[in-house]
Amino acid sequence: MKKQVFNPYLPNYEYVPDGEPHVFNNRLYIFGSHDRFGSRFFCDNDYVTWSAPLCDLSDWKCHGIIFRRDQDPLNRKDLFPLFAPDVIQGKDGRYYLYYCPAGTKTVGVAVCDEPDGQYQFLSHVKDMEGYLLGLRDYDPYPFDPAVFIDDDSSIYLYIGFAPEENYDWMEKEFGTHPHKSGAFVLKLEDDMVTVREEPREIEITDCRDGRHLFFEASSLRKINGLYYFIYSSFYSHELCYATSSSPTGPFRYRGILHDNGDIGLNDITEENRISYTGNNHGSLIELNGQWYIFGHRPTNYSVFARQGVAERVEIRKDGFIVQAEMTSCGLNDGPLKPEGAYGAYIACHLQSAQGALHYLDNCEGAGFESIRDNHPAFSQDGDDREDNPNQYIKNLRDGSICGFKYFSYVKSTHIRVTTRGAGGIFEIRTSPLGNVIAEIPLTEKQEYHESIPVEVTFPECDKLALYFTYRGYGSVDFISFEFC
């Protein structure tokens, strides 16, 4: 690659969660929803797509808006956000975008001759008599559509949503016209919009903990003859997977693919998560012979400004996949180089002295101001905008930890940091609670400033993890660090 690539993999001013990765014409494309920094709701922006050549996954290009919210005939007044989409190349060579505008209870389909062009509304998914899927009595709730074309050219559409309260919640939300909760699959005709076989519920077996069962974010992949149903569970911060010999199931639960707080790895639990968590959505893709899981992370004390991340995974011969670890290097070809400057926003471990929180449970409503005052977060200056990459970690207080994994091993180097805010020190470690191997003094200033370089000698290891712990009074914003 011409340069290194980090997590989040898109420029740090961009907020594209729910990423469905696809390879078309030797390029990796990301199709997702589009959050707005500073918003108090999901998916406030129109759909955009980004892509990178397979030969250089650091060379990302934005293709601009591919579909506007008001292009859907049921959303002409632009009242409803566009939740997570999916795109597939049809049998006719054209590209089909599937999406669900919140509030319409339908699945829309748009089409384009190119994967990154201007999609035009085609139709809503409907049955043979023209009735729209989602508006018929007791249809599944149309949410987070995923589309898959099998080797026999059968076209499958996956939809569904499973709120905690199930039917009680649905009946309250939709009155006397409740939708079925859960995950569902149906077959489409070759026109890509007409229901060929009615929705059938997806069964997931062998899940001992019911909270690992389906909640939202359907995705389907076929790998080595095995069908992988990927979804977000009731825990919401994790992507789980289940496998089957059939695209319609039943599927057998196999485990967690990705968790944006590393819960489930190395004895990390809900109580001692290593970073702030929110919901999650993504899927698997093979790139240059290596498999990756794509997901997203929350920022700005909320789940309304999410950013895409990706991690390597290994698929065993029996189909089992070990849970991916959150890292700073993601799509990079191995660990990062211990040289030059890095933005603090690539941290994969972030917590206060009191630990980290699940934003969906703790960062809305009563108590939010206290949480915002006492915890760090990924943030940026100013409003939602493009071409101004200034994301940083804000509000580090005494005992706050931010970690970066991984770098190639270096025995000794100098490190300096750029911060603003209070004084104090950064303690440097190679694990969150390991021995302090160096201290960087910080000067109190309200504008960005560099510290003096401090020599750091690392214990011998295969790859290097770098942790900064703030000790001092007040609040510090962490902009970047540099090997020098």
Q: What is the per-residue pLDDT across 115-127, written as a single tens digit (0 to 9) for each?
A: 999 999 999 999 9
- Looking at residues 209-228, what average pLDDT do you find? 96
The verdict on 285 and 424 lying in the same domain is: no
pLDDT-based confidence at residue 57 (cuts at 50, 70, 90): very high
Side-chain-facing half-sphere of 319: CA atoms under 13 Å:
19
Q: Output Rg (C-alpha) for the chain, integer angstroms.
A: 23
Q: Is the pLDDT of residue 365 over 90?
A: no
Q: Does residue 15 belong to any structural domain of this protein?
A: no
pLDDT-based confidence at residue 169 (cuts at 50, 70, 90): low
Its pTM stands at: 0.95
The verdict on 302 and 381 lying in the same domain is: no
- Looking at residues 75-91, what average pLDDT do you find? 95
3-state secondary structure of 445: strand
The verdict on 380 and 446 lying in the same domain is: yes
Mean pLDDT taken over the chain:
93
Q: What is the amino acid identity at position 457?
A: T
The verdict on 259 and 383 lying in the same domain is: no
Residue-number span of the structural domain to which 256 is assigned: 20-313
pLDDT-based confidence at residue 176 (cuts at 50, 70, 90): very low
Q: Does residue 1 belong to any structural domain of this protein?
A: no
- Looking at residues 435-450, what average pLDDT do you find? 96
Interacting residues of 318 by C-beta distance below 8 A, sequence separation 6+: none
CATH of the domain at 446: 2.60.120.260
pLDDT of the residue at 366:
47
Strand partners, 468: 402, 428
The verdict on 263 and 354 lying in the same domain is: no
- The total number of structural domains that make up the chain: 2
Q: Does residue 36 belong to any structural domain of this protein?
A: yes
Residue identified by tokens 């009563």 is 366
Q: Is the pLDDT of residue 102 over 90?
A: no
Residue where one domain finishes, among candidates 294, 313, 332 = 313
Side-chain-facing half-sphere of 128: CA atoms under 13 Å:
5
The verdict on 92 and 212 lying in the same domain is: yes
Q: Above pLDDT 70, what percent of the chain?
A: 94
Helix residue ranges, H only, 375-462: none
The verdict on 469 and 371 lying in the same domain is: yes
pLDDT of the residue at 373:
87
- Looking at residues 265-284, what average pLDDT do you find? 96
Q: Does residue 195 belong to any structural domain of this protein?
A: yes
Residue where one domain finishes, among candidates 296, 313, 330 = 313
Q: How many H helices and E strands in the chain?
A: 3, 32
Residue identified by tokens 């993504």 is 282
Strand partners, 65: 48
- Looking at residues 390-411, what average pLDDT do you find? 97
Q: Which H or E element spans position 229?
A: strand 226-233
Spatial distance between the Cα atoms of 240 and 229, rounded to a whole number of angstroms: 8
Residues with catalytic annotation? 18, 216
pLDDT of the residue at 162:
85
In degrees, rounded to 5, the angle at the alpha carbon of residue 433 between the alpha carbons of residues 431 and 434 is 60
Spatial distance between the Cα atoms of 476 and 96, rounded to a whole number of angstroms: 47
Q: Does residue 92 belong to any structural domain of this protein?
A: yes
Strand partners, 148: 156
Tokens of 164: 């905690």
pLDDT-based confidence at residue 13 (cuts at 50, 70, 90): very high
